[in-house]
Structure 1
């Protein structure tokens, strides 16, 4: 991303947390730290100090590392709707709020569905979307708290972002998502080609994210759903899928 350094940090079994560093100001941000030690180690290895933490939602695998990072002086920001479930928050945000890292501004977009208060962070100028567990590479989050209508609205809103926008999601689910996507659109040539690349990457234990909005428009069965009902059908199919 222009002007920012973004570091993928694997945590827990299949989560990705993100370090974002602004060289101009020297500020560093941790997003969705499911564990503290990998984040602190990755920052220290680069001579960075984490001054902010942003959380997309309350699930433990995205926030468990916050207390230890906050103990080092980081300011913690997260969704106002989930403040009761993220007791470490210093600042709460909601739709259309803006958060900053150095001179870089990110819009807060509410994306209820996976959880009711889920938010994502969009650096429009730099072309970066941190999508948490709302939008995955070829997938979307399970509807633990929200509705298909809410998730369908999320997909429409995020699909409207510029195609080159990077999608930095919270899990390495791409291969399983793609295998399911092929059952929905087996004749999608772009999807078939993408899965060839994904299978090769995973065979080498390499990451498959970030993605882009354009790639998701072309290959993500949830972003390509034509209605909330179709998304609901596909989400139920993915929940049952074992592939």
Structure 2
């Protein structure tokens, strides 16, 4: 774990309620792909956010903050960042980081849980461009997806990478997958034995996915997600 002050480079809205934040550490911060950092609001108030950056991008730190006004916890962090030129952070934390393995990987993201899987995806493709990876990203509606062009580009560049967006409440214009994101995984994989699965999203989704994935042969040591430290 390291602590440092970061210059706030920019804050960019990528949807009406999700913001991409780029930070420049004033001294190096050590982390692994899939870990999170703490934004220091005060001495006793430090709030966690997944690092969306890969390790090889260590000169900058990227966060994706879902900051709807109804989510006071995250919205207060966004307000602080918008008012300041720099911020104190510490990291990396968490045990759900990318493992070095020859096993194929499945990444499952709900909402801004995508930031966690995005870091793992970039690092895995950087370390092994022929890695067998499937990313499932679920959202409530199709307008919630961001970085679609980036993901489509990665998919075209890496023939062993597959991206599957899943919309929970789709309108007639959506031609892709619908329903719960983890159910799409179950539909595509008759067995999860021999896979590594990385997951981020609401606790309810993570818990249900764990139960259903275990029933499909996934082992406990092959499932990674920060939620599982709490549920």
Instruction: Indicate the structure with greater strand content.
Output: 2
Q: What is the TM-score with the length of structure 2 in the denominator?
A: 0.34
Q: What is the TM-score with the length of structure 1 in the denominator?
A: 0.32
Q: Which has the higher contact order (CA 8 A, sep 6+)?
A: 2
